Amino acid sequence: MKDVVLEVKNLCYKTEDKEILKGINFVVRKGEISSIIGVNGTGKTTLAYVLMGLNGYRPTSGKIVFNGKNIINFSPTRRAKLGMTLAWQIPASFEGITIGEYLNINNNSNPRDLLKTVGLNPDTYMNRYVDDKLSGGERKRIELASVLSINPKLIILDEPDSGIDMTSINVIKRIIKNLKKNGTSVVLITHSEAMAKLGDRLLLLCNGKFVKEGPPDIVTKFFKKHCKKCGHIGKIEEEILNE
Amino acid sequence: MNDYTDEFKEIVRAYERIGGNRNDILSKDIGSLVINADRVLEKNDVEGLHIKYRKIKNGVSVKVYVDKNSVINYPVHLCFGMLPSQGTQIIKSDFFIGDNSRVKFISHCFFPNAKRIEHIMKSLVRVGKNAEMSYLEEHYHSNSGGTFVYPKVIAHIDSGGKLLEEFKLIRGRVGNLDIDYEVSQDSKSSSELLAKVCGKKTDSIKIREAIYLNGPYASGIAKSRIVLTGSSHGNVLGEVEGNAPHTRGHVDCHEIVHGRNAVASSTPRISVNDPLARVTHEAAIGRINKKELETLMARGLTENEAIDFIIKGLLR
């Protein structure tokens, strides 16, 4: 398929006692933002971890095709080298590591430029440590800068808007829009309607499956009607999907 | 002073090999003391700083005085080296930091050829009222593992004084390390004890950091960062007592076990003997943090590169 960056086919993942992802199918094209919403515990973050190939998140079946390669057996390092990366909902801290060093781990980007891109003054931030003394908003912006440092083709953003101030939210929205302009694809996991609407399309994850996919306005309307107080319990899936 | 010219040149060369700047120990503007084994090769006092010494069996006894109200502009460099491959070096050092003064010491302890070297350091420190002293001890060892290092410090900080004691192994194998720091503090004083060490092969690391907060509003932190690879062992005891109102203390120990047979243990011993005191502790022992590791891998580093990166930061 033309311009397809990521194709996920019948992806399943289960822990010892629970099936978390139950046959996920979706496609992300070049420069496209695919937003994913769903109530807590539906498997959004698990999907992000499975896509990135994190330890303990090996799918039980299915395919993840990235730029034409099935990467199901690839390590996170190999996936990153191909151009896929992930920004965690709560980013890690690195004791003793300066922001300048953190943004230059691959020696192929300019940390000062990256900081400017995420709206942070390099003179203030280059020599600060990537530790808990940074605010939530600062840490999220630095995480985005770090993600940009590898010039990715696909970024998975896990709730980039959670726990941050309005200014940082606006900066993050601007960055996501710019990514799209530059041809980078984004998988955007969020609980925010405003953020979800940045997507070219919105996917609604429910109990380990996508139950609705389409324009953000329509899917959010569907979500509000059925999912705020989980309306599908006791109904068969087809009944929901046919609404 | 005896003529140890050749030996001194050799020490200067050794110092440069570990990345030091020869001006640190040659400049007349910078306070310094250079000892090889039991011989003082060079000493330089600067305004407000006076160093006295005498030879003792297997070592040197040193007394360092900083005058009241003196600010020593440049760090004072102390080189304690042992160039031979075997032997014992005992350094007995007393530091008297006058009221309202400020000084920083950088101690370079290098044993580049050690096969069986014992380095015993016994220090008494007195930090005067509102004075500040920082003491950074950097160690450069051989890779033999035959270095036995026993730094022992007993310090007292008068009211309003500050003390920072930091121990770092920069190069080589630890060998056998037994750190014992003990600090008692008067009112409104503060202290930070910090040890950063990476153990390799069969190295043994034992650290005791004890802080007694005896005066109101005194504060202190006992911090350690240990990485254990191979079959090395680490044992950390962090002790803090809050014995007066409004004292604040904290024990912070982080040990990473990164060797199949490496063993880590940490024991915080905290106590509060005043209802208005507060002492806390945190300890993390175990493998490298998974999220840190995977974040770096998701940026393209291999697992080993990511581990090196994390350890570098932790031990910095």
Instruction: Compute the count of residue pairs across chains A and B with CB atoms less than 8 Å apart.
Output: 63
Q: Which of B63, B8, B2, B73 has its CA nearest to residue B34?
A: B8
pLDDT in tens, B202-220: 999 999 999 999 999 999 9
- CA distances A64 to A8, A49, A71, A110, Å, are 5, 12, 6, 31
- CA distances A207 to A13, A21, A41, B97, B210, Å, are 12, 8, 8, 67, 53
Instruction: Supply the pTM of this predicted model.
Output: 0.87
Q: How many CB atoms lie within 10 A of CB B280?
A: 13
Question: Looking at the predicted structure, is the pLDDT value of residue A237 above 80?
Answer: no
Q: Which of B248, B201, B270, B204 has its CA nearest to residue B229?
A: B201
Domain membership flag for residue A227: yes
Query: CA-to-CA distance for B316 and B225, rounded, in angstroms?
Result: 9
- Chain A residues whose beta carbon lies within 8 Å of the beta carbon of residue B298: 52, 76, 79-80, 85-86
Residue B236 · residue B255 · CB < 8 Å: yes
Task: Spell out the domain ranges in chain B.
Answer: 5-288
Q: Which of B158, B151, B30 has its CA nearest to residue B96?
A: B158
Across A61-81, average pLDDT: 97
Task: Please report the residues numbered 131 through 150 in chain A whose beta carbons come closer than 8 angstroms to any beta carbon of chain B.
Answer: 146-147, 149-150
Q: How many CB atoms lie within 10 A of CB A40?
A: 7
A227 pLDDT tier (thresholds 50, 70, 90): confident
Local structure of B30: helix, strand or coil: coil
Query: CA-to-CA distance for A204 and A225, rounded, in angstroms?
Result: 13
| Positions in chain B whose pLDDT score sits under 50 | 1
Nearest CA in chain B to A82: B300
Nearest CA in chain A to B294: A54
What is residue A224's predicted lDDT score, i.e. its pLDDT? 86
What is residue B304's predicted lDDT score, i.e. its pLDDT? 94
What is residue B9's predicted lDDT score, i.e. its pLDDT? 85
Domain containing A197 equals 4-91+153-241
Query: CA-to-CA distance for B101 and B69, rounded, in angstroms?
Result: 5
What is residue A163's predicted lDDT score, i.e. its pLDDT? 82
- Chain A residues whose beta carbon lies within 8 Å of the beta carbon of residue B312: 96-97
What is residue A168's predicted lDDT score, i.e. its pLDDT? 85
Domain count, chain A: 1
Residue B213 · residue B219 · CB < 8 Å: yes
Which residues contact residue A159 at a Cβ distance below 8 angstroms, ignoring those fewer than 6 apart? A89, A189, A190, A191
The CATH number of the domain where A198 resides is what?
Answer: 3.40.50.300
- Burial of residue A2, with CB atoms counted within 10 A of its CB: 0-12 exposed, 13-18 middle, 19 or more buried: exposed
Which residues contact residue A136 at a Cβ distance below 8 angstroms, ignoring those fewer than 6 apart? A163, A164, A165, A168
* Nearest 10 degrees: Cα torsion A111, A28, B295, A138: 50
Nearest CA in chain B to A54: B294
A173 Cα to chain B: minimum distance (Å): 22
Across A173-181, average pLDDT: 94
Domain membership flag for residue A141: no
Residue B161 · residue B128 · CB < 8 Å: yes
Number of continuous H segments (helices) and E segments (strands) in chain A: 10, 12
Q: Which of B84, B125, B107, B88 has its CA nearest to residue B25?
A: B107
What is residue A151's predicted lDDT score, i.e. its pLDDT? 94
Q: Which one of A9-18, A163-172, B20-29, B210-219 scores highest in mean pLDDT?
A: B210-219
User: Which tokens in the block code for residue B285?
Assistant: 């022992």
DSSP structural state of residue B46: B
Q: Which of B87, B10, B92 has its CA nearest to residue B56?
A: B92
User: Which tokens in the block code for residue B299?
Assistant: 């940026």
Of A92, A101, A150, the CB nearest to B300: A150
What is residue B3's predicted lDDT score, i.e. its pLDDT? 56
DSSP structural state of residue A227: T
Residue B114 · residue B171 · CB < 8 Å: no
- Chain B residues whose beta carbon lies within 8 Å of the beta carbon of residue A94: 292, 309-310, 313
User: Which tokens in the block code for residue B78?
Assistant: 């102390």
Of B296, B297, B315, the CB nearest to A75: B297
Task: Please report the residues numbered 183 through 212 in chain A whose beta carbons come closer than 8 angstroms to any beta carbon of chain B.
Answer: none
A197 Cα to chain B: minimum distance (Å): 26
Question: Looking at the predicted structure, is the pLDDT value of residue A240 above 70?
Answer: no
